[in-house]
Amino acid sequence: MIASERIESALDKIRPALQADGGDVEFVEVTEDGVVKVSLTGACRGCPMSQLTLTNGVERVLKEEIPEVVRVEAV
């Protein structure tokens, strides 16, 4: 199981970019099979580019920092 502290630490690396655009990301849970569930908040919540932000930003950073991460899903 991936420690939530590792996920929060990795998310802290992308948070400044999201917050600069008025959004943020919150860690929700991680499943036993390596799926990290997050919630996009603020301006990110309704943004038409949020799926790109999720895959090209959040998921990329998490996979780089934590190789056990299989994918990231927004909930």
Q: Give the pair of three-digit tokens for residue 42.
A: 């603020």
Give the mean pLDDT of 27-48: 94
Hey, is 16 helix, strand or coil? Answer: helix
- pLDDT, residue 16, reads 96
pTM for this predicted structure: 0.93
Identify the domain containing residue 15 by its residue range: 4-74
pLDDT in tens, 50-69: 999 999 999 999 999 999 99
* pLDDT tens readout for residues 6-26: 999 999 999 999 999 999 999
Q: What are phi and psi of 43, to 5 degrees?
A: -65, -25
Using DSSP's 3-state secondary structure scheme, residue 27 falls into: strand
* Contacts with 39 (C-beta within 8 Å, 6 or more apart), sequence order: 25, 26, 28, 74, 75
Q: Which two tokens stand for residue 13?
A: 């690396």
Please check whether residue 7 is in contact with residue 54, taking contact to mean a CB–CB distance below 8 angstroms. no
Q: Please tell me the total count of domains within the chain.
A: 1
CATH of residue 38's domain is 3.30.300.130
